[in-house]
A and B are shown apart, each in its own frame.
Chain A
Amino acid sequence: MKAALNSGLLRRLGRQYFLFSLLLLILGVIINASLQQNFFKPIALVGLLRTYLPLVLLAAGQTVVIIGGGIDLSVGAIVSMVNVILVTRMGADATQSQVLTALAFGILAGTLAGALNGACIAFLRFQPLVTTFATTSIFAGIAVWILPRPGGSVPDFFMQPYRSAPLGVTFPLWVILGVALIWWYLRSTRFGRYLYAAGGDAYAAYMSAVPVEWIKFFSYVISGLMAALSGVLLTMSIGTGSALIGLDMTMPSIVSVVLGGTALSGGAGGVIGTILGVFILAIIRNIISFANVPSWWQTLVNGLVVMLILAGPGLWALIRGRREA
């Protein structure tokens, strides 16, 4: 009787794949607020949102690929590529139409990059890890070729929306809301269902008339598009260009997905968790910088904390299993 009650409750809790992430984020916020006096002041929160907004989009695209049973190591390089395309095609005195052309070029480049990954992996059956590792060099190489030295600038009116707050709500929140809504829609369509099926068991999906190859292809196209949009936001935020700017964002994008409760094995999880995951990562970094950790240890501490959290559920199960045995 008690067991039945327990299993029913657990099952309902278990259905919310991001529950653990949500609890973690709340815990992080509590710790952070106790260390940082002005944490709940708009200025601090908005700063945090602005810093991590590009990563939210990047990780959202990464989530789609990972649910579909793949991984995309090239997203950071795509961000770089889009960033340098934007600054080289704009310049400080660009007109509105020049900005729009630059945007079109950047977004197209990112989408095509994703399509290249997708075509190699879905139709030519290359390994996702190896393929996207290789295309990372290609995209990063193109970025360096376009802009060998960091620099360049964009017009003010291009950067302005990033700092705006339509209807009193800060711009990053609108974008995050948009991402969440688009994800909700995608999940409620066949594409969403097929994505989970293809990542969960590609053969079973194939036998059920799911166009597995196309689904995988489009998961990489979406990832490329999201990386391009991430590059656009990053450029709006910093206003200058560098061929190396996105490379450090790849690993955080994958870590955010996992922190958000999406399994690397595919077929489970979702973007809502990933959004939480990005902010868990942000809070961890914030806490470390406010906890007076010497700066040369920060990377190490950051890595250890992330590892502990990722190992958490597994360790918990292990300890419980011991006790029962």
Chain B
Amino acid sequence: MNKVSLSAQHLVKHYGGVVALADGNLEVNAGEVMTLVGANGSGKSTLGKIVTGVVAPDGGRLLLNDREVVFRSPQAARALGIVAVYQELSLVPRMTIAENIWLGHERQGAGAILRDTEMRKKTQELLALFEGTTHNHLDPDLPVASLSPGEKQIVEILKALSWQPSILFLDEATASLDSRQVNRLFELIHEWKRQGMAIVFISHRLDEIYRIADRVTVLRNGRTVAIAPINELSQPELINLMIEGGIAARTNGKQPGPTQTEEILRVDALSTTTLRGVSFVLRRGELVGLGGLQGQGQTELLLALFGAIPYTGRIFLHGQPITLHRPQEAMRHQIAYVPGERNTAGLLPIQSILDNLLLPSWKQYGFPLRIRQAQEDATRVTNVLKLVMAGLDAPVNTLSGGNAQKVVLGKWLLRRPKILLLDDPTKGVDVGTKSEFYKILSELRAEGTSILFYSTDDEELLGLCDRVLVLHDGKITADLSGERLVHSELVAASMGSSA
């Protein structure tokens, strides 16, 4: 691998009248990990897209090995060795792992017939890099649709690697990986660095940034405000750079939880295809976290409690046994579920914010619908959520990721749920929005809402929850609270050690 360096200088990008990037700078050299940080709307993704050839800049220039380059497409960037790992966007679900990895650069043999055996063998070699970190053994012939989000992300990383990049862009590549998979990825990154690869690493997880980065580029409001070695910046300093005004408002809102309030929900020996006898109690105003590695049954637990998947076992609400066969029943019991994959499960992207917020609640507004009343209620919720939007009539797909996630939460808040089931709601959301989100959660608890909160971010669970139930292989291996609610205990329980 040759020594490479990439330098983006004073990049500018407008979308209509909106300035997405005013002065974007980024540089990365062979053998180093550069991280790119910034809040939502800081221009981070625009900068990434320009450098990987997805969008063309309106101004500024790109230097590759000190020579100016212009990319007309992602393929053009890829031809020069710049490859990006996307967030599960470039995989075709119905195709196999091997077909996906080689999609776009298949090996051809005589008569243009594809060399499937050779590609399958190469795929096996690539999969071996993550051997032992996945729940199931990954076979090149498995369809991607059957993989968990973490496994899909691994395939996405291996797909990028199959292009043999000299500069690798990892955009939130760890978002759906569990800690074991992240560790393996970081080991691999160290190896790639040693071989001379240049890596640009984008993540919302500060601890990961401090673990892996050599240097950091900070973006704020479309401008690069700092480029510095990571060890010269403390975490509060870094966050101050990202947040305008510079006040580190990272209060996770952890309050002394309710100790002995009334019991709201009791789950007894709940089993599904993934869960194997889960029992726990949720009290009024309590915020209980669900932790553990990815795909250990956390999402299934939430879905079962929302009546969306079949289960066996007993569920008691206020001491009364209830059955939950379908989401409507759960909603009648004032149980609400906020899905993690907001683009597929939570929102109607081309509908207005108003329509999205009110979708589950129209029943309350009579016939004919009392539109004015509905608008007032929706406005109240958007104020509570501090939603940044052009207006209630704007379609949801005009919102940034963090704001869209707030709409998913907001549509259930209108129904005033007693129990809120959150399925990894802060995945891919920036620090600023996260802390607002946490504030909303603590307000909800103060009003008596009980929350069951699944997160793949360990720090978040530790900082926010009264208790954390750790799942492993469909069972609860630990119920951590008080002094035991620390990272080491959480990791130990995630790995299935119940000590």
Give the residue among B89, B93, B94, B111 with the most A Cβ atoms within 10 A: B94
Stretch at the interface among A76-84, A192-200, A236-244, A278-286: A192-200
Q: How far is the CA of A251 from the CA of B93 in the complex (A)?
A: 29
Stretch at the interface among A52-60, A144-152, A163-171, A202-210: A202-210
| Contact among A188, A196, A209 for B75, CB-based, below 8 A | A209
> Quick one: CB contact mask for B103-117 with A, threshold 8 Å, 1 for yes?
111101001111010
| Contact among B74, B89, B113, B116 for A204, CB-based, below 8 A | B89
With a cutoff of 8 Å between Cβ atoms, the chain B residues found around residue A193 in the complex are 99, 103, 106, 114
> Quick one: CB contact mask for A285-325 with B, threshold 8 Å, 1 for yes?
00000000000000000000000000000000000010011
CB pair B78–A209 under 8 Å, yes or no, is yes
B420 within 8 A of A: no
CB pair B95–A190 under 8 Å, yes or no, is no
Interface positions, chain A 254-281, Cβ under 8 Å from B, are 267-268
B246 within 8 A of A: no
Minimum CB–CB distance from B496 to chain A (whole Å) comes to 20
CB pair B95–A207 under 8 Å, yes or no, is no
| Contact among A190, A205, A267, A321 for B114, CB-based, below 8 A | A190
CB pair B105–A209 under 8 Å, yes or no, is yes
Interface positions, chain A 203-262, Cβ under 8 Å from B, are 203-205, 207-210
Minimum CB–CB distance from A107 to chain B (whole Å) comes to 23
With a cutoff of 8 Å between Cβ atoms, the chain A residues found around residue B91 in the complex are 201, 204
With a cutoff of 8 Å between Cβ atoms, the chain B residues found around residue A201 in the complex are 91-93
Q: How far is the CA of A201 from the CA of B106 in the complex (A)?
A: 18
Residue of A at shortest CB range from B101?
A: A208
With a cutoff of 8 Å between Cβ atoms, the chain A residues found around residue B75 in the complex are 209
A189 within 8 A of B: yes
CB pair B113–A267 under 8 Å, yes or no, is no
Minimum CB–CB distance from B68 to chain A (whole Å) comes to 23
B325 within 8 A of A: yes
Minimum CB–CB distance from A179 to chain B (whole Å) comes to 18
B400 within 8 A of A: no
With a cutoff of 8 Å between Cβ atoms, the chain B residues found around residue A210 in the complex are 103-104
Q: A205-B103, A209-B75, A209-B78 are in contact. Are A190 and B112 (CB under 8 A)?
A: yes
With a cutoff of 8 Å between Cβ atoms, the chain B residues found around residue A204 in the complex are 89-92
Q: How far is the CA of A190 from the CA of B116 in the complex (A)?
A: 11
A185 within 8 A of B: yes
CB pair B92–A189 under 8 Å, yes or no, is no
CB pair B90–A207 under 8 Å, yes or no, is yes
B310 within 8 A of A: yes
Give the residue among B91, B103, B112 with the most A Cβ atoms within 10 A: B103
With a cutoff of 8 Å between Cβ atoms, the chain B residues found around residue A321 in the complex are 310
| Contact among B94, B104, B108 for A208, CB-based, below 8 A | B104
Residue of B at shortest CB range from A189?
A: B112
Chain A: interface residue total (CB-CB under 8 A): 22
With a cutoff of 8 Å between Cβ atoms, the chain A residues found around residue B106 in the complex are 190, 193
Interface of A is mostly: helix
B interface, size bucket? 20 to 34
B86 within 8 A of A: yes
Minimum CB–CB distance from B87 to chain A (whole Å) comes to 11
Q: A189-B112, A193-B99, A209-B105 are in contact. Are A267 and B310 (CB under 8 A)?
A: no
CB pair B113–A207 under 8 Å, yes or no, is no
Minimum CB–CB distance from B118 to chain A (whole Å) comes to 13
Minimum CB–CB distance from B398 to chain A (whole Å) comes to 19
CB pair B90–A196 under 8 Å, yes or no, is no
With a cutoff of 8 Å between Cβ atoms, the chain A residues found around residue B113 in the complex are 185, 188-189
Residue of A at shortest CB range from B75?
A: A209
Q: How far is the CA of A201 from the CA of B86 in the complex (A)?
A: 15
With a cutoff of 8 Å between Cβ atoms, the chain B residues found around residue A208 in the complex are 90, 100, 103-104, 159
Q: How far is the CA of A197 from the CA of B94 in the complex (A)?
A: 8
Interface positions, chain B 159-189, Cβ under 8 Å from A, are 159
Q: How far is the CA of A193 from the CA of B89 in the complex (A)?
A: 18
CB pair B95–A203 under 8 Å, yes or no, is no
Q: How far is the CA of A209 from the CA of B113 in the complex (A)?
A: 19
CB pair B104–A324 under 8 Å, yes or no, is no
CB pair B103–A325 under 8 Å, yes or no, is no
Q: A189-B114, A190-B114, A193-B103 are in contact. Are A207 and B108 (CB under 8 A)?
A: no
Q: How far is the CA of A194 from the CA of B106 in the complex (A)?
A: 10
CB pair A200–B103 under 8 Å, yes or no, is no
Q: How far is the CA of A185 from the CA of B93 in the complex (A)?
A: 23
Minimum CB–CB distance from B443 to chain A (whole Å) comes to 37
CB pair A188–B114 under 8 Å, yes or no, is yes
Q: A185-B113, A197-B103, A209-B75 are in contact. Are A190 and B92 (CB under 8 A)?
A: no
| Contact among B89, B99, B104, B159 for A203, CB-based, below 8 A | B89
With a cutoff of 8 Å between Cβ atoms, the chain B residues found around residue A324 in the complex are 310
CB pair A205–B92 under 8 Å, yes or no, is yes
CB pair A197–B92 under 8 Å, yes or no, is yes
CB pair A197–B89 under 8 Å, yes or no, is no
Residue of A at shortest CB range from B142?
A: A11
Q: How far is the CA of A209 from the CA of B75 in the complex (A)?
A: 6
Q: How far is the CA of A203 from the CA of B104 in the complex (A)?
A: 13
Residue of A at shortest CB range from B102?
A: A193
CB pair A209–B74 under 8 Å, yes or no, is yes
With a cutoff of 8 Å between Cβ atoms, the chain B residues found around residue A209 in the complex are 74-75, 78, 103-105
Minimum CB–CB distance from A135 to chain B (whole Å) comes to 28
With a cutoff of 8 Å between Cβ atoms, the chain B residues found around residue A268 in the complex are 94
CB pair A325–B325 under 8 Å, yes or no, is yes
Q: How far is the CA of A321 from the CA of B308 in the complex (A)?
A: 13
Q: How far is the CA of A136 from the CA of B274 in the complex (A)?
A: 50
Give the residue among B104, B113, B116 with the most A Cβ atoms within 10 A: B104
Minimum CB–CB distance from B341 to chain A (whole Å) comes to 15
> Quick one: CB contact mask for B329-355 with A, threshold 8 Å, 1 for yes?
000000000000000000000000000
| Contact among A185, A190, A196, A200 for B108, CB-based, below 8 A | A190
| Contact among B89, B95, B116 for A200, CB-based, below 8 A | B95
With a cutoff of 8 Å between Cβ atoms, the chain B residues found around residue A185 in the complex are 111, 113
Residue of B at shortest CB range from A14?
A: B143
A-B contact pairs, 7 of them (CB 8 A): A196-B94, A197-B103, A200-B94, A205-B103, A207-B74, A209-B103, A268-B94
Measured CB to CB, the residues of A under 8 A from B are 185, 188-190, 193-194, 196-197, 200-201, 203-205, 207-210, 267-268, 321, 324-325
Further 8 A-B residue pairs, CB within 8 A, beyond A208-B100, A268-B94: A185-B111, A188-B113, A197-B99, A197-B103, A201-B93, A204-B91, A209-B74, A209-B78
